Structure 1
Amino acid sequence: MKIATWNVNSVRSRADHIRTFLKEQAPDVLALQELKAVADQVPLAAFAEAGYQATIFGQKAYNGVAFLSREDISEPAEVQRGFPDDGDDAPARLLSARFGDLRLINVYLPNGSEVGSDKYNYKLDWMERLRGWLDAAFDPADPVVLVGDFNVAPEDRDVYDPAALRDRILFSEPEKQTLERIRDWGFTDCFRRFHEGAGHFSWWDYRMNQFRRGNGLRIDHIWTTPAAAGACTSCDILIEPRRWERPSDHAPVVAEIEL
């Protein structure tokens, strides 16, 4: 199964980019984040034309996650939108479904805004809830894949300037430690199985020509439990879509898992 994850920063603004990506890369499942749209605003016809069906957990103007899955693979089953104890007004940040034997969890973690702020504390709490939900709902012995925009760069090699960014949002110690608690549930970082060096990034701020200067962070991830990690044959960040006209500020990450 070929799995991709991509924060598209508005599904309507990037519909043509998504369709091009689907045709060029032909993933079995593409996990999208930051739709900024509810279900009836998503350009479903454009994706159906490429042979994909959509499973959506949307929100007007903000957040939103979705799966685009090939129509010729198994239908998504056991779909869950949000945490089980979420209220009706909870942000659309988590979407889970089973595709065959594989459980796929798509997350768009909160940004956190500024270290020490209320939004930052909300981010840490949301991450702890994710760990608690994993404990309650799944078994690390099963093939589970966690993908999405984690809004955290785990290590020094995942940022362009560790000294300058240390203790700032997306790279502060509490964020990294809480993310490590999630990974300790039983996940392996697929990308790092194939790429050990520094300088691999998936997000570049629109401001100050950060992309052209190479000043990025690796905050988009594909993590797998051992049952799927051993079957993962590749995992790459595809930079080219970040060069397209009016791009998302994120690049897609793609992994192949031979279950």
Structure 2
Amino acid sequence: MRIASFNINGIRARLPRVTEWLAETRPTVACFQEIKCQDDSFPAEAFAELGYQAIWHGQKGFNGVAILAHETAPIEVLRGLPGDPEDEQSRYLEADVNGVRIACLYLPNGNPQPGPKFDYKLRWMERLRQRMAAIWAAEIPAVVLGDFNVIPRDCDVWSPQAMADDALMQPESRDAYLRLLNDGWTDAIATHNPRGGVWTYWDYQASAWPRDHGFRIDHALLSPECADRLTAAGVGRAYRGREKASDHAPVWVELRD
């Protein structure tokens, strides 16, 4: 079972890249972030032609997440992260696919920091931890994946000095991420790349892609039930180099059936 995540940075603008990636890699489950479209504009028909059924949680021009499953329908469990009834941003979607709980997320960026956006990021991460604890307590095989907007370690960025003031690398952001791991979740990409040096994001500015100035902010966290089934994990780096690509590369994990 291959489960993948891709911050596509506008699903309608990059639909040819998305369908190309699906056709070439055929993940069992595909999670998208930053779809940047309202619910009635999501291109579900294009995915149905490839054998994928979808659920999505859209928002006009910003955010938005989706879960696709190959030759089966994702069974929606939760739309929106609990804990703040006033939070209207579309950043979280949860579904069951083939006996595995899939949580697709687009965590707040938090810049500029300090400030209200960074405070929102930290509150959101605490709400996420509470939701993940509930999944854990139910002993549900689960994969929580997406754009976490956190660089966990210095070896996950091309230059720690260059990103030192960014919200993605602040001690509070890293501590909140580390608490998830300390709760017993497994960082699949880090497990297979313990020395780091694997990027999932390259900015469009300052020739970041040709200079390989990237960092790792797209993650897949596995519950113990799925960590025991993990056989492989990686990053589809080549997709970042294609024409009109997203500034992210897809990440994926493979689980034994």
TM-score by length of 1: 0.94
Q: Deviations over 1:171-194 (max 9, x none)?
A: 111100011112222210111222
> What amino acid maps onto 1:179 in structure 2?
Y
> What amino acid maps onto 1:42 in structure 2?
F
CA contact (8 A) 1:130 1:182 kept: no
**Greater displacement, 32-41 / 195-204:** 195-204
Cα 1:137/1:254, change in 2 over 3 Å: closer
SS of residue matched to 2:202: coil
The correspondence for 2:89, drawn from 82, 86, 91, is 91
Matches within 5 A, 1:135-174: 135-139=133-137, 141-174=139-172
SS of residue matched to 2:206: helix
> Which residue of structure 2 aligns with residue 10 of structure 1?
10
> Which residue of structure 2 aligns with residue 64 of structure 1?
64
> What amino acid maps onto 2:5 in structure 1?
T
Counterpart-to-counterpart distance in 1, 2:107 and 2:87: 16
Matches within 5 A, 1:30-49: 30-49=30-49
CA contact (8 A) 1:64 1:93 kept: yes
TM-score by length of 2: 0.95
- Unaligned runs of 5+ residues in structure 1 are none
Counterpart-to-counterpart distance in 2, 1:62 and 1:211: 24
Counterpart-to-counterpart distance in 2, 1:2 and 1:137: 21
CA contact (8 A) 2:136 2:223 kept: no
Shift of the alpha carbon at 1:144?
Answer: 1.2
SS of residue matched to 1:68: strand
> Which residue of structure 2 aligns with residue 21 of structure 1?
21
Q: Percent identity?
A: 40
CA contact (8 A) 1:140 1:186 kept: no
> What amino acid maps onto 1:81 in structure 2?
R
> Which residue of structure 2 aligns with residue 242 of structure 1?
240
RMSD (Å), alpha carbons: 1.5
- Unaligned runs of 5+ residues in structure 2 are none
Cα 1:79/1:88, change in 2 over 3 Å: farther
Shift of the alpha carbon at 1:145?
Answer: 0.7
Shift of the alpha carbon at 1:258?
Answer: 1.1
Cα 1:197/1:135, change in 2 over 3 Å: closer
**Greater displacement, 157-166 / 210-219:** 157-166
Counterpart-to-counterpart distance in 1, 2:82 and 2:97: 20
SS of residue matched to 2:209: helix
Task: Kindly tell me the number of residue pairs found equivalent between the two proteins.
Answer: 257
Shift of the alpha carbon at 1:89?
Answer: 5.9
